[in-house]
Chain A
Amino acid sequence: MKITMTSSQRFIHPYLPQTETQIETMLESIGVSTISELFSSIPEKLRLTRKLNLPPTHSEQETLSIVKKALRKNKTVDEISSFLGAGIYQHFIPTVIQTLLSRSEFYTAYTPYAPEISQGMLQALWEYQSLIAEITKLDLVNSSMYDMATALGEAALMCTRVTRKEIFLVPSYLQPEKFQTLLTYTQGAGISIKTYPFDKETGKADLYAISELTKSHKNQISGIYIENPNFWGIIEEGVQEIGKITHDLKGIFVIGFDPISLGILKSPGDYGADIAIGEGQSIGLPMNFGGPLLGIFAVKNDRKLSRAVPGRIIGITTEVKSANRAFTMTLQTREQHIRREKATSNICTNNALCALASTIYLSLLGPIGLERLAELCMSRTTYLLEELHSIDGIKSPYFSGVPFKEFIFQLNSKFSSNDLEIFLQNNNIQGGLSLQPYFPELKQCFLTAVTETTKISDIDQFTQKIREFILEHGG
């Protein structure tokens, strides 16, 4: 759509409100006759003269049909029976969340720099901090990071910032994405990442190896990281001891947690965590092909630690002239807009709306809901594990440690795990993540997740298909 005018050819579009007459008036007020004069400060030889190779303008109707056509090529987890987890999980999202997140007063706002006009988001984020503080039993929570992988990177940086030591100890059995992100994040600060192994029998942290490692690097360890449940889905029973080892070294004890597991497991703060990080996707966010997610970052309230925390923090205070409650961003002297090159992190835009989703989620579920959800996940996981256990040709569980909502099973070497994957896919099942490409020692092993959205009938169907596969392939 184009109309020709005396001074210019105006492009008419619903997002561009100025009319031709208004443009004329505005140009006159500026003292120029064309819009292109306003761009005269761009050196002539740099100005684009050709048309860029971009799509043409589309109407709303056309745009919608193009997007739909593309997205239709995707197969959603609603159409597949999916047992994929390994960091991102399919949990049910109560309808209330989407409804409240679509309040545009929330989602079309910027970071609450002008607090008086942004109390709603500030209070919601303070409540987010409060809910996370409650489930982790750590008082100081920032108002979000991008995801758990970057939260781990920031935690490692924080450990070195506080202790001035340079070795950060992590499990060798981290989610590969997270491990790679950690390696990137720690390069600039010259931090050395050392790994400790798991016990080959139980799948839990090898405590002996940890204590040997700490002996050989006695005064260099900034912190020790452990996940509970760990990447194999197993509950780490040595956490308390590892916390003690860390504190004896004057290191910082960092826990990675699954928020849902805290419905039945003790909180990181209960067993000595100085920092706890988590992935908030499982509490109220769609999987979204892996983003946006929610990096949870909680810290023990201690002066030395609180000054080293990355990210935005909301505090509760009052109006200047009354005792009325008010919320505001606080402890900002740690942040990039004030401290610049000395800031604790460069993070500016975070994942506030995702934090809001989790706030609503935890408010809806309450203490009983979260407990029951954790119990459901754990019991159905046990069910799948037991069902697979009864199949000849499958080792389930692969490790003897107790799993929470995922575990590893192994296919006997008589069969090809590739064939199994194809067989399952043909039967519309994504049976889990094949671990061998990332951990070569875990031959023919699959990491399989079960949540409350996994129906008993899905589990039965899954195990039935595995039985069929084994029969067909000469079991």
Chain B
Amino acid sequence: MFKQTTWEKSLIFELSIPGRIGYEVAELSDKEKSLLSQSKQRIHPDLMRKKRLDLPEVSELSVVRHFTRLSQMNYGVDTGFYPLGSCTMKYNPKICDFVTTFPEAQNIHPYQDPSTVQGSLQIMFKLAKWLAELSGMSKVTLQPAAGAHGEYTGIMIVRKYHESQGNLEKKTEIIIPDSAHGTNPATATMCGFKTVIIPSNEDGCVDLEALRSAVTDRTAGMMLTNPNTLGIFEQNIEDIIKIIHDVDGLAYYDGANFNAIMGKVRPGDMGFDIVHFNLHKTFATPHGGGGPGAGPVGVITRLEPFLPVPTVDFDPDTQTYFFQYDHPFSIGKVRSYFGNFSIILRAFTYILRLGNEGLKAVSEMAVLNANYMKSLCQTIKGFSVPYGKDSFCMHEFVLSSKQILRDTNISALDISKFIIDRGFHPPTVYFPLIVPEALMIEPTETEPKKMLDDFIQILKDISRLVYSDQEEERNQILEAPCNTSVRRIDDVKAARNPILSYRMLKQQEE
């Protein structure tokens, strides 16, 4: 039975005892002291720190124990099933982490001479090539730091493209379906576009009529995921893209759902012009409790001149890899340096490990697992699949508990808390916005059938409990979670009286 480890929540600051150190920095020699004072004398005393910082003073063991205890109050893929829809929380192979700890990966300065970083450049060059092949794009930049950052890069390319055509004044709108992830409209705004939201049809897909009436000369492009956020493949994808291309718009593919399609179908063949990948989803790089990730972006040949600089190229004459700055209409840079190398290296290792056949098998098994769960979950009393009930889903599906809410006043959030109590991470709740009481389930390919069955059993238990005529049983759901290190959290208090740092906490206590 699941019972999360619970420790007293002492803050690192509260463990502090003056005079303790956790790591000793060498003392300055006499000569160093005199050099220091020589420099210090030349700085206005007003600029110098007068009083030491109020940082914690703790021993090495205290630090180790503190953060080890915190880790025990956290839940990762290594701990258990994490069917967080849209996030592709698959197993992160250990070999991929191991290779990033090599000094040849870590101890490299980005401004070293290219002749001394040929290994890193080779890895980047190859990964970019493989991603291009997987997506049907012609060239890939590895610069973006996350999915949303990839979106940003892609939509800036859209902007620059229209600018190069002398059309930027006119091309002011990006079309986004109402089922899209929040980063899509937020990205459009950051790039200076107006978002035009189009409603989904009753199948949860792009409504072609709504799209046609939304598209105008002002349409700069469209952002879409396929399979979409409901886990449904947009069958009219060619028509959709044609409508966009007919007004000289560009089609952007949000690659968050790439895990469904590897070796099966490619965004480039569907007609998309720009694609981003989430290496921290599809390519198994760990999510780090919130990041870092990486969001490479691929484009079709016509858009290569707009890519951020530099990309990595290979010179067959000298057999060397080099940074290519020749992208005449480049959007510039979207961050410093070349990309999140340690994430890139993990994805490179992952692709080698699975290979062509393996990646295809990944998508097949991801889709099999999702359909298996969907077929069983949607028959449980109180749960339904509002979109795509009778068709196959791709790698994920969105369950709704609206019937339960209606019948019992128990919400999807309550249900998610009970799932936690059984030792599972809950699904994504309340997304996509078009599904009421949404529970978005993405099992991924790495989970065994037994795990899927156990999860389905929990939903069955939930159904029994919510419809039980005994208040006690219903309360098990309403009072969940009780097996975690804290019980339900007062979010309202957190927002009404924000205490965002120890300094603020002390000010309040005073």
- Per the bound structure, the CA–CA distance linking A114 and B83 in Å amounts to 12
Smallest Cβ-Cβ distance to A120: which chain B residue: B74
* A304 on the B face (CB < 8 A): no
Interface membership of B109, Cβ < 8 A = yes
Q: Are B335 and A326 in contact (CB under 8 A)?
A: no
Contact between B25 and A369, CB atoms less than 8 A apart? yes
A420 contacts partner chain B, Cβ-Cβ < 8 Å: no
Contact between A402 and B425 (Cβ–Cβ < 8 Å)?
A: no
Q: Contacts A116-B481, A146-B149 known; A121 to B290 CB distance under 8 Å? A: yes
Considering the complex, which residues of chain B in the window 455-509 have a beta carbon less than 8 Å from any beta carbon of chain A?
481, 484-491, 493-495, 498-505, 507
Q: Which residues of B contact A15 (CB under 8 A)?
A: 90-91, 93, 284, 353-354, 358, 362, 445-446
B277 lies within 8 A of chain A by Cβ: no
Residues on A with C-beta less than 8 A from B489 are 115-116, 317-320, 326-328
Which chain A residues lie closer than 8 Å to B84 at the CB level? 110, 113
Interface size for chain B: under 10, 10 to 19, 20 to 34, or 35 or more residues?
35 or more
| Contacting residues, chain A, for B134 (C-beta < 8 A) | 52, 54
User: CA of A177 to CA of B493 in the docked complex: distance in angstroms?
Assistant: 41
The minimal Cβ–Cβ distance linking A159 to chain B, given in whole angstroms, is 15
Known A-B contacts A52-B356, A108-B287, A369-B23; A291 and B71 likewise in contact (beta carbons under 8 Å): no
A115 to B352, CA, bound (A): 35
Please provide the chain B residues from 23 to 54 with a CB less than 8 Å away from any CB of chain A in the complex.
23-28, 31-33, 35-36, 38-40, 42-44, 46-50, 52-54
**Cβ A74 vs Cβ B108 within 8 A:** yes
Q: A119 to B55, Cβ gap below 8 A?
A: no
Q: Do A30 and B372 have beta carbons less than 8 Å apart?
A: yes
Known: A23-B368, A73-B122, A157-B190. A135 touches B67 (CB 8 A): no
Q: Determine if B402 is an interface residue (Cβ-Cβ < 8 Å).
A: no
Q: Roughly how many angstroms separate A125 CA and B73 CA in the complex, as a whole number?
A: 13
Q: In the complex, what residues of A have CB within 8 A of residue B372's CB?
A: 26, 29-30
Known: A239-B47, A291-B340. A18 touches B449 (CB 8 A): yes
Residues of A in contact, count (CB < 8 Å): 207
Closest to A128 in B: B501
Query: Could you say which residues of chain B place their CB within 8 Å of the CB of A26?
Result: 368-369, 371-372, 449
A78→B103 contact, CB < 8 A: yes
Q: Is residue A60 contacting chain B, with contact meaning CB distance below 8 A?
A: yes
Interface residues of B in 351-390 (CB under 8 A from A): 351-362, 364-365, 367-369, 371-372, 375-376
- Given contacts A54-B133, A265-B49, whether A289 and B375 have CB atoms under 8 Å apart is no
Q: Give chain B residues whose Cβ lies under 8 Å from the Cβ of A356.
A: 67, 289
Which of B195, B394, B501 is packed against the most chain A CB atoms within 10 Å? B501
**Chain B CB within 8 A of A16 CB:** yes
Identify the closest chain B residue to A87 (Cβ).
B336
Q: Are A345 and B186 in contact (CB under 8 A)?
A: yes
Stretch with Cβ within 8 A of B (4 or more), from A210-218, A359-367, A388-396, A461-469 = A359-367
On whether the beta carbons of A326 and B490 are closer than 8 Å, the reply is: yes
Q: Is A414 an interface residue (CB 8 A)?
A: no
- For B43, the chain A residues whose CB sits under 8 A away are 235, 237, 402
Which residue of chain B is the closest to A323 with respect to CB atoms?
A: B490
Is A133 a contact of B501 with CB atoms below 8 Å? Answer: yes
Chain A residues within 8 Å of B146, by CB: 146, 347-350
Q: Which of B22, B353, B417 contacts A57 (CB 8 A)?
A: B353
Cβ-defined contact, B368 with A46, below 8 A: no
Q: Decide: A107 near B289, CB < 8 A? Known: A31-B375, A116-B481, A364-B23.
A: yes
Question: Please, how many angstroms separate the alpha-carbon atoms of A337 and B105 in the complex?
Answer: 35
A352 interface residue per 8 A CB criterion: yes
CA distance A314 to B278 in the complex (A): 24
Does A112 sit at the interface, judged by CB under 8 A? yes
A150 sits at the interface (CB 8 A): yes
Q: How far is the CA of A31 from the CA of B270 in the complex (A)?
A: 28
* B113 close to chain A: CB less than 8 A: yes
Within 8 A of A (CB), among B48-107: 48-50, 52-58, 60, 63-64, 66-79, 82, 84, 87, 89-93, 95, 97-99, 101-107
Q: CA of A237 to CA of B354 in the docked complex: distance in angstroms?
A: 56
Contacts of A267 in B (CB 8 A): 49
Q: In the bound complex, do residue B486 and residue A266 qualify as a contact, i.e. CB atoms below 8 Å apart?
A: no
> Which chain A residues lie closer than 8 Å to B31 at the CB level?
383
**A184 lies within 8 A of B332 (CB):** yes
Which residue of B is nearest A150, CB measured?
B335
Contact yes or no, A57 B110, CB < 8 A: no
- Bound form: Cα–Cα A26–B394 in Å: 15
The 3 A-B residue pairs whose C-beta atoms are closest, nearest first, are A290-B337, A352-B290, A290-B110
- For this complex, 23 residue pairs linking A to B, each with C-beta atoms less than 8 Å apart, are A15-B358, A16-B445, A17-B447, A18-B365, A52-B263, A76-B104, A76-B106, A106-B70, A106-B288, A111-B289, A116-B481, A116-B489, A130-B11, A139-B500, A149-B336, A189-B190, A289-B110, A326-B490, A343-B186, A363-B22, A363-B55, A366-B16, A371-B53
Given contacts A16-B446, A107-B288, 15 further A-B contacts (CB under 8 A): A31-B375, A42-B265, A54-B130, A76-B104, A96-B64, A133-B502, A147-B337, A148-B336, A184-B333, A288-B106, A322-B487, A362-B55, A363-B22, A379-B33, A430-B113
